[in-house]
Amino acid sequence: MKVPLDDIAEPGTNARAVLEQIEPGRLPNHVAIIMDGNGRWATARKLPRVEGHRAGIHAVRQTIETAARLGIDVLTLYAFSTENWKRPRHEVLTLMGLLKEYINRELKTFLKHDLRFRPIGRIDQLDESVQRELARAVDATASCRGSLIQIALNYSGRQELTDAMRSAVREAAAGTLKPDEVDEAWIENHLTTHGQPDPDLMIRTSGEQRISNFLLWQLAYSEIYFAPVLWPDFNQEEFLKALLAFQRRERRFGGLPQTGSVFTPPKDKHGST
C-alpha cells in the first residue's frame, strides 16, 4: 500500500476492519469493474433512473481514491457499452453530460494523486464535446506516474477483437503479416489494453452475474467477484471486501497448486502454448 492505513480508512470503521485483514503485498495489479445497478437504486427511491447515475459518481470517486491509495496499478471502469445506446435519449445524454462534468471537476484530484486517465472504446463515435473533454484529461495527466484510471466508453469486447482481426487481415493482404505470426502476443498488442497486465479481479455490482461484453479477451483468467450491492452503494468497505475475497481465492491458471510441472506444454503450430 502506498500510504499509511489511517489515510485509507478511519480507525474504528467497518472499512478499517476489512483493510486490516488485507495483505499489502498481494493486491491485484489490475481491477476491472462493471458498475451496475444505478437504475434500480433510483427506482427503489422513486427517482428517475438518471438520479442513480448521478449518485453513482460518488462511488466512482471513492473507488478511484481507494485504488490510488492502495497503489493498484490499473483500475478499469465500465461506464458505457456499445449496447447502452439502446437506452432512452435522455438517459444517454445525461450520462454523457455527467461524464463531462465529472472530468471537469475531478481533473484536479487526478493530478493531485498523480493518476493517469485513459478512455478505451470507440471514442471517435462520441459527441465532439465529450471527445474534447476526454482529450483534455488524457493530455493533462499524460506524465502522471501513479495508478492508471481507465474508463470504458462506447466499449465492446467483441468489437475490440473484431478490430484486431481486421488489422490482421489488412496486414496479411498487404503482405506484412504471415498466419504463423498471429499468436496471443500479436493479438494482445492489437487490443486497446496493450502493454497492461490483464485484470486479476473483475467486480460486478448489483448481484447480476454476467460479463456483458466487457474485456472478453483480457478476463480469461480473472477472478470474478459479484458484489451484492447496487453501484451507488458500493462504498469503500464493499471495495475492500472484494479485495479481501480476491486474496482468499486460489489462482491456478489451469494448473494445480504447488506442484512441479511434469510436462512442457506442447507448442501449437503457430508457436504459442
Q: Which helix (H) or strand (E) holds 239?
A: helix 236-247
By CB under 6 A, residue 35 contacts ligand FPP:
yes
Q: Segment 149-168, which members bind ligand FPP (CB under 6 A)?
A: 151
By CB under 6 A, residue 39 contacts ligand FPP:
yes
Taking CB atoms within 8 Å and a gap of at least 24, the contacts of 264-269 are 269/180
Cell matching residue 199: 485484470
CA distance 58 to 44: 18
CA distance 120 to 186: 19
Is 6 a residue of the active site?
A: no
Q: Which of these is catalytic: 14, 84, 183, 233?
A: 84
Query: Within a 10 A sphere around the Cβ of 266, how many other Cβ atoms?
Result: 7
- Size of the residue set binding ligand FPP (CB under 6 A): 19
- Nearest residue to ligand FPP by CB is 39
Query: What's the closest the beta carbon of residue 74 comes to ligand FPP, in angstroms?
Result: 15
Q: Is 132 exposed, middle or buried (0-12, 13-18, 19+ CB in 10 A)?
A: exposed
Nearer to ligand FPP, 123 or 187 (CB): 123
Among 38, 66, 147, 150, binds ligand FPP (CB under 6 A): 38
Among 99, 164, 202, 203, binds ligand FPP (CB under 6 A): 99
Among 28, 56, 119, 121, binds ligand FPP (CB under 6 A): 56
Is 235 a residue of the active site?
A: no
Counting DSSP H helices and E strands in the chain, the numbers are 9, 6
Q: Footprint of ligand FPP on this chain (CB under 6 A)?
A: 35-40, 53, 56-57, 60, 77, 79, 84, 95, 98-99, 102, 151, 231
